[in-house]
């Protein structure tokens, strides 16, 4: 009997997520909003789970990350473990960690008594999202270099193994179905490396975010700072690649009545459009990935919200895990679709910027 691996993987992810919640929230008053947003937001440490010892004391298992602060011209570097964790946080070296959950986590300056001084240092810390990006990039480099070595050894033969076949499929897909039709046969090769990097990075980070345990589990593309940087790079490449025809159409839009050009309504709309395109890219990726994580966590947390009795807890657990498996499968599709849409729109914007006028092409 052939075993279907993918459904079992989804079920494992959902059950592991359930156990992680149960270990950290089992006997405490549950604040659903704090729990959900603490799992999807950025932090100065990488929380794994909580456990209670025989004496009833709760302990957090978390990976401490470097804290790098610039305050009054001097640099302070230490590990985030000195702040403590959860309800046991305390000041360190004149700094305190505030927020978390529904509030954005930040480091503030405090006096000797632990009271805020009203100032904040410049925070250059390696946060959970930063560490996850480094891990994702490192894994991507290892994967792609291993595939490259396969081609060096085997030449241009048919792909050997699932990994080489999958990477080749994505490379050919981005080249033939995104770059060529959107940018054009003559110019697509110049931008293909960026489009491939964009697609692989977004898709890989999206997939890592669906795995609920370290070194995965971080909501990388659900962080608006990450999507903003990706959108800014696209904005930079698009507008610096723009030819004379591209800028002429912005300030002298063809086919528009003359009075709209004199009143500069259309040029104003076109200029605004130049800046709204990357904003749309940024928000679409951020919103879709964040919403997916919230839905999955919401189904899991229903177990603890409605599980006041044994019979209700059992019924809700089964339904929540089933729904979580379904949403996890859907999120795998969304992870691919969002990488495709971001890359496709980037190629479309670049293609519009480098497009030659029709009479010149003829």
For every residue of 78-130, DSSP letters joined together read EEGGGG--GGG---BTTEEEEEETTEEEEEEEB-TTS-B-S---EE----HHH
3-state secondary structure of 309: coil
Q: Which of 208, 156, 191 is nearest to 354 (CA)?
A: 191
For residue range 330-357, list pLDDT tens digits in order: 778 888 999 999 999 999 999 988 887 7
Q: Taking the CB of residue 333, how many other CB atoms lie within 10 A of it?
A: 9
Taking the CA atoms of 7, 13, 17 and 20 in sequence, report the sign of the dihedral they define: positive
Q: Check residue 72 and give its pLDDT.
A: 85
Low-confidence ranges of the chain (pLDDT < 50): 1-28, 359-362
Give CA–CA dist 73/358, Å, rounded: 57
Q: Check residue 316 and give its pLDDT.
A: 60
Residue 102 CA, distance from chain mean position: 18
Tell me phi and psi for residue 255, to 5 degrees: 80, 10
pTM here? 0.82
Per-residue CA distances from 186 to 179, 190, 354 (Å): 11, 9, 11
- Tokens representing 4? 């279907």
User: CA angle at residue 331 from 325 to 336, to 5 degrees?
Assistant: 140
Q: Check residue 61 and give its pLDDT.
A: 78
Q: Check residue 145 and give its pLDDT.
A: 92
Q: Check residue 294 and give its pLDDT.
A: 81
């Amino acid at each position: 009997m052939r075993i279907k691996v993918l459904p079992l993987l989804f079920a494992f992810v959902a059950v592991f997520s359930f156990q992680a919640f149960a270990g950290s929230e089992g006997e405490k008053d549950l604040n659903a909003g704090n729990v959900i947003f603490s799992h999807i937001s950025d932090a100065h440490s990488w929380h794994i789970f909580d456990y209670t010892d025989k004496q009833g004391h709760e302990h957090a298992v978390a990976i401490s990350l470097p804290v790098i602060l610039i305050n009054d011209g001097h640099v302070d570097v230490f590990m985030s473990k000195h702040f403590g964790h959860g309800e046991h946080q305390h000041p360190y070296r004149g700094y305190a960690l505030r927020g978390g959950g529904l509030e954005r986590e930040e480091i503030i300056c405090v006096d000797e008594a632990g009271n805020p001084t009203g100032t904040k240092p410049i925070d250059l810390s390696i946060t959970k999202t930063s560490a996850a990006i480094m891990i994702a990039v490192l894994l991507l480099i290892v994967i792609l270099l291993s595939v490259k070595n396969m081609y060096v050894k085997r030449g241009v033969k048919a792909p050997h193994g699932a990994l080489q076949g999958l990477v080749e499929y994505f490379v050919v897909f981005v080249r033939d179905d995104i770059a060529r039709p959107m940018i054009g046969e003559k110019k697509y090769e110049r931008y293909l490396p960026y489009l491939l990097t964009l697609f692989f990075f977004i898709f890989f980070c999206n997939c890592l975010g669906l795995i609920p345990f370290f070194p995965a589990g971080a909501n990388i593309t659900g962080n608006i700072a990450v999507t903003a940087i990706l959108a800014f790079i696209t904005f930079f490449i698009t507008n610096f690649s723009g030819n004379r025809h591209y800028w002429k159409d912005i300030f002298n839009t063809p086919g528009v009545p003359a009075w709209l050009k004199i009143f500069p309504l259309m040029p104003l709309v076109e200029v605004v459009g130049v800046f709204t395109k990357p904003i749309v890219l940024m928000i679409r990726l951020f919103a879709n990935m964040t919403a997916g994580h919230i839905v999955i966590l919401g189904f899991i947390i229903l177990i603890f919200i409605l599980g006041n009795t044994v019979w209700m807890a059992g019924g809700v657990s089964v339904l929540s895990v089933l729904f979580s498996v379904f949403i996890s499968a859907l999120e795998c599709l969304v992870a691919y679709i969002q990488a495709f849409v971001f890359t496709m729109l980037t190629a479309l914007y670049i293609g519009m910027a480098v497009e030659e006028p029709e009479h010149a092409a003829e």
